[in-house]
Structure 1
Amino acid sequence: MFKSVLRAWLLLAICIFLSACSPKLNWRTVQSPEQRYTALFPAKPAKLERNIPYQGQELKQFLEAVKIEDDIYSISSIQVPPNQSNLAQKIIDQLQSHLLDKARGSGGNVLIEDAFYQTASRQRFPTKDYFIAVSASGKIQQTMRVRWILRPTDSGGVWIYQASVLHINANNTDIKTALSTEEYVNFFNEFHPE
C-alpha cells in the first residue's frame, strides 16, 4: 500500500514537473532566402515589408517579429543597392544614434559589449551587443538588446541587419544579466546571415 501511494505521489510530482516545464517558447528555424539569413525564433514570426525614405531615395526594409509575453524578438533587414552601398555605415550610425539618444535622454543607460556572430558558412566575425535601458519617472520601463551587422552581397550591395529583443515592463536594473539568459542568447547566437 505504501509503495502504491508513493508511486502515485511520484507520478503526480512528475506530471506537475513536466507541465511546469512545458515551454512557452516554441523554437523554430526560420529561413529567409530573400533576405539572406537563417534565424531561430521562439514562435512563428509575422512578416512585414515596406519602403523607407532615406536621403531622397527609398530603401526596402523587411521585418520578422514575434511577441511572447513581455518580449518582442525581431530581425530587421535593409537592402542597400550597389550604387548606394557607401551609405550603409551612415544608416547604422543613424539607427544606433536614435536608440541610444532615446535611452540616455530618458535617464536610462547603455552598455556596449564585444560579441561575435557566425555566418551561414560558420565563419565568425566580431560585432557589438548593445544593452539598452529606457526609463520613465526614474524607473526602468523597457530593456533592449540589439546587434547591428553589415554583410556585403555578391553584386556589391549591402544588407544591414538589426537583431533585437525588446523587453517591456522591465524591473531589473542589471540589463546585461537580464538579457543574457538562455532564450535571448539562443536568438542572437542562432542568427546566421550569408
Structure 2
Amino acid sequence: MFPYRPALCAAVALAAAACTPSLNWREVRLAPTTAVALLPCKPDRAERSVPLGGEPTTLAVSGCEAGGATFALMAAKVPAGRAPDELLAGWQQATLANMRVSGTPARQPFHPPKGLPLAHAQRVVAQGQQADGRSVTAQAVWTARTAGDGGTELLHAVMYAERPQPAVADAFFEGIKWP
C-alpha cells in the first residue's frame, strides 16, 4: 500500500539520530570562500598560515565539540594557476599522516552542488590516533569550487570521534553548500 514506507522510515531514523539534544545545528559562513556549512555547536574561529602545496596559504578554521565529537571546517582561497586536485591530495595526505592512520581509509567521491568533480574531492573514513595516543575515527571530506576571480575555493570538513557516527557525519557533510 505504501511503497515508499521503508525509505521514509530510514530517512526519519537518520534525521532523528542527527538531531539529538546535544547537537544544535547552525549555519556558519566559511570566509574567505563563499561556502556555508552547518556546525552542531557554536564554533571557535581562527586563521593561520599553512604550507598548502608548498606555498603559504591562509586557512580559516571553525570548530567545536558536541555529542562526543570534534567538528572542524577549514577553508582557503588560492589564486588561479594552482592545481586544486593536487592541493586536495596533499591536504588529505597531511591530515591522515597527522592522525597516524592505521589500515586503509575508506574513500568515496564527494561532489556537493557547484563543487568541482576532482579525483581527490572525496569523503574519507579512517581509523587513527589522537595526539595522546587514544584511538579516533575521522570522517572527513575535501572539495573545491572555481572562484569568481578564476582562483579556487578549497574546503575541508572533518568530524573526529571515538566511534563512527555515520548519521551525524551525513548531516554535517550535507550542510556544506556554495550559493
TM superposition score normalised by structure 1: 0.68
CA drift at 1:158: 0.8
Query: Any conservation in 1 of the 2:52–2:91 contact (CA below 8 Å)?
Result: no
> What corresponds to 1:99 in structure 2?
95
Higher helix share: 1
> What corresponds to 1:164 in structure 2?
158
Query: Any conservation in 2 of the 1:116–1:125 contact (CA below 8 Å)?
Result: yes
Q: 2:57 aligns with which of 56, 59, 69?
A: 59
Specify the code of the residue in structure 2 equivalent to 1:161. L
Give the gaps of 5 or more residues in structure 1.
Answer: 1-20, 173-177
> What corresponds to 1:74 in structure 2?
72
Q: Does the alignment pair 1:185 with 2:179? A: no
> What corresponds to 2:107 in structure 1?
112
Distance in structure 2 (CA, Å) of the matches to 1:101 and 1:155: 33
Query: Any conservation in 2 of the 1:133–1:140 contact (CA below 8 Å)?
Result: no
Distance in structure 1 (CA, Å) of the matches to 2:153 and 2:79: 9
Query: Any conservation in 1 of the 2:116–2:143 contact (CA below 8 Å)?
Result: no
1:1-194 equivalence runs, <5 A: 23-32=21-30, 34-54=32-52, 57-82=55-80, 85-101=81-97, 107-119=102-114, 127-134=121-128, 141-167=135-161, 170=162, 172=163, 178-181=164-167, 183-194=168-179
Percent identity (aligned): 18
Give the gaps of 5 or more residues in structure 2.
Answer: 1-18
Distance in structure 2 (CA, Å) of the matches to 1:73 and 1:58: 24
User: Which structure's CA Rg is the greater one?
Assistant: 1
Specify the code of the residue in structure 1 equivalent to 2:159. V
Number of aligned positions between the proteins = 157
TM superposition score normalised by structure 2: 0.73
Across the aligned residues of Structure 1 and Structure 2, the Cα RMSD in angstroms comes to 3.0
